[in-house]
Amino acid sequence: MKNNSRTYLIHAVSSLHVGSGRGVGYIDLPVVREKTTNWPFIPGTGIKGVVSDYHNASGEGGRKDRIKRMAFGAADDSSLEAGSNAGSLVFTDARLVCLPVRSFYGTFAWCTCPLALARFTQDLSMSSVSEDLEIPGVDEAGKGLLPKGSELIQEGNVYIEDLDIKAHNDENAEKWAGFISEQVFSDSAWQDIFRKHFVVLSDDVFNFLCQTGTEVSARIKIDPKTGTASGGALWYEESLPAETILFGLVWCDKPRYSDGEEVSREYMLSEFCKGEHFLQMGGNATTGKGRVRMVYSGGEKE
């Protein structure tokens, strides 16, 4: 599978709302969360649909293109000679690896934890990306591991939201900061910014931040006749904040057209899953939400 798959990273340029429908708490429209961890994620089905649209595979022209039909699939269409077929490209869910959280020093921190890095490592091991990285161990809740030169540290502590975290310089955290920054950012200046704002927290603290560190906005509906708020049309909507980083895996099953024609897996991945894409994901596109960068491992920038 390693030769037929690669990882991808999603960097939220603006706040990102991928909803799960109506909520039962004070948040009317929460983000979708994993059942096991309750961490926010982006479903792979939505990612595949967005990527398909980016490559113009969803319209009539795309449905007539044999390679795009092989890659993303198409339903049976009486207007076309070809029948239906499943797409060969498979996208896993995009899981959280770095959550941006406000910091008293350094403005904000890209926070992660050993469990998030372990899950990332698992996907890396199934892809063509090879990197020898050790998971940093955080043995207590009030401890944070940071690279040297971090801008988050003041008098030996990191102050994230209302938490006081004891700062420790760590070689493995420095290696992870370097690796993730190089995967997400091509600009050396941004790589340096990432390293100076990266921190590894305990799993429990990261879990707490995943529940409390998301962005919650009050929204209203405007009455077009009066230009004022409609009565009762107030709701609260949750989003992942800008600068959130998620990861996933994409691979290619045996590409096959309805008439039996085959194309190599390597060709399909190099054609549709390479470089860097600027995409729109989730809701509220007309208000500037959901703008993301999707960066694939391997390949060159487009």
Residue 194 reports pLDDT greater than 90: yes
Q: Taking all residues of the chain, what is their mean pLDDT, rounded to a whole number?
A: 87
Beta strand extents in 89-214 (DSSP E only): 89-91, 94-102, 108-112, 143-146, 153-154, 157-160, 163-169, 198-200
pLDDT of residue 29: 85
Name residue 203's amino acid: D
pLDDT of residue 259: 58
Query: For 223, which DSSP code?
Result: -
**Residue carrying structure tokens 């004022």:** 228
Residue 192 reports pLDDT greater than 90: yes
* Chain segment 21-46, per-residue pLDDT in tens: 766 566 778 899 999 999 999 999 99
**Token pair in block for residue 288:** 């500037």
Contact predicate 87/48, CB 8 Å:
yes
pLDDT of residue 211: 93
Residue 301 reports pLDDT greater than 50: no
Contact predicate 176/121, CB 8 Å:
no
pLDDT band at 130 (very low <50, low <70, confident <90, very high): low
* Chain segment 66-111, per-residue pLDDT in tens: 888 888 887 665 555 555 667 889 999 999 999 999 999 999 999 9
279 burial (CB, 10 Å; 0-12 / 13-18 / 19+) is middle
Residue 247's DSSP bridge partners are: 9, 95
Residue 91's DSSP bridge partners are: 250
Q: Is 139 helix (H, G, I), strand (E, B) or coil?
A: coil
Distance CA 211, CA 30 (A): 11
pTM of the model: 0.88
Task: Give 97-114 as a DSSP string.
Answer: EEEEEEBSSSSEEEEE-H
The residue length of the chain stands at: 302
Closest to 280 measured CA to CA, from 14, 57, 98: 14
- Residue 189 has phi, psi (to 5 degrees) of -65, -45
Closest to 275 measured CA to CA, from 93, 66, 51, 90: 51
pLDDT of residue 302: 38
Helix, strand, coil percentages, rounded to 5, for the chain: 25, 35, 40
Closest to 99 measured CA to CA, from 142, 161, 30: 161
Residue 241 reports pLDDT greater than 60: yes
Closest to 243 measured CA to CA, from 177, 293, 176, 298: 293
pLDDT of residue 83: 59
Rounded mean pLDDT, 54-68: 78
Rounded mean pLDDT, 202-224: 88
More confident residue, 258 or 215: 215
Residue 199's DSSP bridge partners are: 111
pLDDT band at 300 (very low <50, low <70, confident <90, very high): very low
Distance CA 195, CA 181 (A): 7
**Token pair in block for residue 3:** 């030769």
Distance CA 127, CA 90 (A): 13
**Token pair in block for residue 164:** 């006081």
pLDDT of residue 299: 41
